[in-house]
Amino acid sequence: MKPDRNSLHSVLISILLISFIFSLLFGTIFILNLVQSSQGYAIDNPVLEEERARLEEGESDPELFRELHLMVRRAHFLRITQLRWGRFFLIISMAIFFFCWQILTALYAKSQKPGADPVFITFTGLSSRTGDSPRAQIALSRRAMMVLATILIITGLGGISSSILTENYIAGSPPLPELFKSAEKDKDECPCIKIRSLEANYVSVTEDAAGSWSALRGPSGSGQQNSGQPPLSWDLNTGKNVIWSTPLNKTGKSSPVIYKNKIFITSSDDVNRGFVSAYSLDNGSHLWTYNLSDAGFTTLPSADQQTGAAAPSPAVDSHGVYAIFSGGIVVALSHDGNLLWKHDPGEIDISYGYASSLRVYREHLYIQYDHNGPSRLVALDSKSGETRYTVQRPSGLSWSSPALIDTGKAVLLVTKGSKNVTVSDPLTGDMIWEQDVLSGEVCPLPAFDGTRLFTVSPAREIKAFHLAKGTFMWEYFEVVPDVSSPIAHNGKLYIPTSYGILHCINSETGELIWEHDQVTGWYASPLIIGDYLVLFDRDGESQMIKLDTSDPQVIVNSIGEPVDATPAWTGDRLIIRTASRLLAIGESL
């Protein structure tokens, strides 16, 4: 039985037309897809971008970010697969079109007149709805078919090229979009992820300190205390608001620390012996004094006369009081003055004398040994004196002290060395982020306002960093402290200097808000108590400045002698150490 030429003709024409339409459609889609991809990568997902920003601020769940990131990744690779299969079918469709064309040309092309363009395709159709009229024949010449083939070639090859370019855009040549790469980096390296990992084991610094003023500038070192209001006036001559005053017969620049009803200070004498003393918070009476000679430290390493052997401040917790002196020597005593343990770091080579104060948190006692030899951060067990961990640090001089940042969800340990500011896990010492940005004789502690960390390079600049990212934000050059530390509160950074200039700047932008000038500068670091910024200068005068004002009104009182040690706050009274006295100042009941 012979095949039906008309049926074969119809089948070939149908296949040719279908392959033409399919190729034209796919080619056009690929070209439009390239145009769209060149204007923005397909994986620029606004939801992922928003979640990533929230994660960097510490407001999102890392697991949710990972799931969203995985979804975007899957969509990314699915699109690559679709491009490859689509390109394959486009090539097959074009091949089918030309294959059918060649068969039709060989079998059915005919010329109606000598020299005329041969008819390539003919088909008939009804000329009216009734079907009574004769069928009309429609013919396409070879020239017309060449036009269609040209359109198909341009569109098809354009579509194939576009699909390859689009795949390169989203697959990595050029490289993957920055959002995709930064999301991958964030997942594995972003400091915010490491900070979030600390939340499961969170214990607030205030809760751990059990209400005590456990170290220099309070438990964390921030200098902020929201409970109570400071005394705004006192008179040493009349005794107004002076709860008690106790003479001191030894010297020291260290600040007092408080646990329950006891105050602890360190001091030294003129033959370089070290002492730890306890006083009653209630009435200032002397309770006991421990001589470091009883621990085997007969004479302390020498220090510059201005610094002295008792410059670094002690720390205290429920297990005992921990005192540190020149040379980095540490003794741990019970609250009643009995030796618990001691720690000798070996030779500490540092100009002026050792001055880094102690910090304690969750039975970890932090000691910062930055000097001309092997520098390190040491965390000792506050109960036993055994080493919890040691972190090696770049060799170089620094007199700054460890500080804690309590975000309300996690606690971070911050240290400032001769070059680096380092944020780490306080329980393990693992680094979260670090920046090589410091220089000069680094002494001031860092400040923190919720999202920003502020560092000081004396006589050079103050720099602000995003706490969760570790990225630089701005720097300030107008005034820079060299001894006292800045303090941040409610969007403002307060900067006292040893030469008598106090600046208040916007902590978000680094712009100056107001300035206060006076003759005498500050060594003692400022505190924020209730609604007031509290400072004590080197002439023994105090300055109380109401917070959140554009035109500061300074309330001045006098202690009568220099105050270099940062005061302590109990919630209702200031404990102030001068060169010769220990005082309690508070509003009379």
| pLDDT of residue 141 exceeding 70 | no
Shared domain for 395 and 542, answered yes or no, is: yes
Confidence of residue 36 (pLDDT cuts 50, 70, 90): low
559 touches 542 (CB < 8 A): yes
95 and 236 belong to one structural domain = no
In a domain, residue 65? The reply is yes
How confident is the model over 458-502, as pLDDT tens digits? 889 999 999 998 999 999 999 999 999 999 999 999 999 999 999
CA angle 539/541/546 to nearest 5° reads 145
Same domain, 161 and 230: no
Residue 168 has pLDDT above 50, yes or no: yes
How many structural domains is the chain composed of?
Answer: 2
Residues ≥6 apart with Cβ < 8 Å to 249: none
Residue 7: alpha-carbon gap to chain centroid: 75
Residue that is last in its domain, among 135, 155, 189: 189
User: Which pLDDT score, from 0 to 100, does residue 253 have?
Assistant: 94
**One domain, residues 134 and 236:** no
357 and 464 inside one domain:
yes
Range of the domain at 261: 200-585
Q: pLDDT per residue over 491-528, tens digit each?
A: 999 999 999 999 999 999 999 999 999 999 999 999 99
Residue 313, CA atoms < 13 Å, CB-side half-sphere: 30
For 18-77, the DSSP string reads: HHHHHHHHHHHHHHHHHHHHHHS-TT--HHHHHHHHHHHTT-S-HHHHHHHHHHHHHHHH
314: exposed, middle or buried (Cβ count in 10 Å: 0-12, 13-18, 19+):
buried
Stretch 519-545: mean pLDDT = 96
Rounded to two decimals, the pTM is 0.72
Residue 179 lies in a domain: yes
> Has residue 368 been placed in a domain?
yes
Domain at 300, CATH number? 2.130.10.10
Same structural domain for residues 286 and 173?
A: no
- Res. 234: pLDDT tops 70: yes
Domain boundary among 137, 155, 189: 189
Q: Among residues 429, 451, 455, which one has the least CA distance to residue 361?
A: 429
User: Whole-number mean pLDDT of the chain?
Assistant: 85
In this structure, the answer to whether residues 210 and 170 fall within a common structural domain is no
pLDDT at 409 over 80: yes
Q: How far apart are CA 428 and CA 29, in angstroms?
A: 56
Choosing from 166, 189, 212, the residue where a domain stops is 189
One-letter identity of residue 524: A
280 and 410 assigned to the same domain: yes
In a shared domain, residues 183 and 205: no
**pLDDT value of position 7:** 74
Domain match, 185 and 221 both: no
* pLDDT at res. 166: 66
Residue 530: which pLDDT band, with cuts at 50, 70 and 90?
A: very high
Burial per residue of 272-283, b for 16 or more beta-carbon CB atoms within 10 angstroms, e otherwise:
bbbbbbbbebee
Residues 244 and 320 in one domain: yes
Q: To 10 degrees, the CA torsion angle through 432, 438, 441, 442?
A: -30
Q: Are residues 184 and 206 in the same domain?
A: no
